[in-house]
Amino acid sequence: MNVLIINGHPGKDTFNHALANAFKKGAQKTSVSLKTLEVNDMKLRLDMTGFNKEKAIPENILKAQGMIAWADHLVWIYPTWWSTMPAMLKAFFEQVFISGFAFEYKQSTQVVKWDKFLKGKSAQIISTMDSPPWYYKLFVGDPGFKTVKDIMNFCGIKPVKRTYFGSVKVSTEKQRQKWLDKAEQLGRKLK
């Protein structure tokens, strides 16, 4: 299995990076092939979405699309901010998961129809948050997971699983180590 770890944290040397490294460490103990993609390194523009079909797609977007096409399983690691993903990760979805790569609308005059080009892939979301995960799911309604799952399903990626770690803000070093151990275990479960 080909596994792509996508770190959606816009900063460097964060706990999300430590989680990505722990997951990778666990996955390296299996027979999977691994690649990693740092969304922050792509230097995405936040003032644009999608691409005009008449213009060439930038090289950094083509490279990310190639990595996603290669992968059988996508592992998304990012912080939950204001109930959903960081703006940089949202820009990634808008600029990488474009028509012609992730999906294509069909001709239709009555209902919207489309082809899903990323069928056969699965996804895992690992997200940190400052609220307790049970509170986020029960009282906030889990909007971040719903958004990413909807994007994945729209393009044919399923199933989409999730693991949350929180509250990071009040966590101890011991608790964070347990979360890193859990991320490594998730990596080891890959087949």
**139-148 per-position pLDDT tens digit:** 999 999 999 9
Predicted TM-score (pTM) of the model is 0.94
Q: Which CATH number characterizes residue 31's domain?
A: 3.40.50.360
CA distances from 127 to 45, 69, 104, 134, 188 (A): 23, 23, 29, 13, 18
Span 50-57, mean pLDDT?
A: 72
Going by pLDDT thresholds of 50, 70 and 90, the confidence category of residue 52 is low
**101-131 per-position pLDDT tens digit:** 999 999 888 898 999 999 999 999 999 999 9
Question: Which domain, by its residues, includes 78?
Answer: 2-188
Angle, helix 87-96 to helix 59-70, in steps of 10 degrees: 80
